[in-house]
Amino acid sequence: MIMKGYDREEAIRFISARIHPQDHPELRELLPGLIGDIIDADMAYMEESGVMDAEGNAGTAYYEDDDAFEYMVEKLAASRKLDPEQAVKLASLIDDYMDYQQEYMESRGLLQWV
């Protein structure tokens, strides 16, 4: 499920252009596919938590950064079978992702601050 008005491929390009492999050397080889997986985990969090409904429209819940962060780290560490050290590196990458995802969504008018 992808949020209405959200272009996943454009977001991957936008975010990937801002995440520097030298900042995440331990994940360098995983980076090409990892950004898309992080986006998918973020969208899954939004749907499961009610931030987004099943059709990709705004839901009734607020996006909780800390909950989303934990959800993404846990989901991706498990699905990619990362060891605890790699999971810490993934958390650093997701922290960067969250900043750039917000920047992307703001640039497309997809965020509403209340």
pTM beyond 0.85, yes or no = yes
Can you tell me the distance from the alpha carbon of 19 to that of 90, in angstroms, rounded to the nearest whole number? Answer: 13
pLDDT band at 47 (very low <50, low <70, confident <90, very high): very high
Q: Any idea where the domains of the chain sit in the sequence?
A: 8-107
pLDDT band at 96 (very low <50, low <70, confident <90, very high): very high
Can you tell me the distance from the alpha carbon of 69 to that of 41, in angstroms, rounded to the nearest whole number? Answer: 10
Query: What do you get for the CA distance between the two ends of the chain, in Å?
Result: 24
What pLDDT is attached to residue 32? 80
Can you tell me the distance from the alpha carbon of 92 to that of 54, in angstroms, rounded to the nearest whole number? Answer: 29
User: Taking a C-beta distance cutoff of 8 angstroms, is the pair 58, 52 a contact?
Assistant: yes
What pLDDT is attached to residue 112? 66
CB atoms within 10 A of CB 61: 13
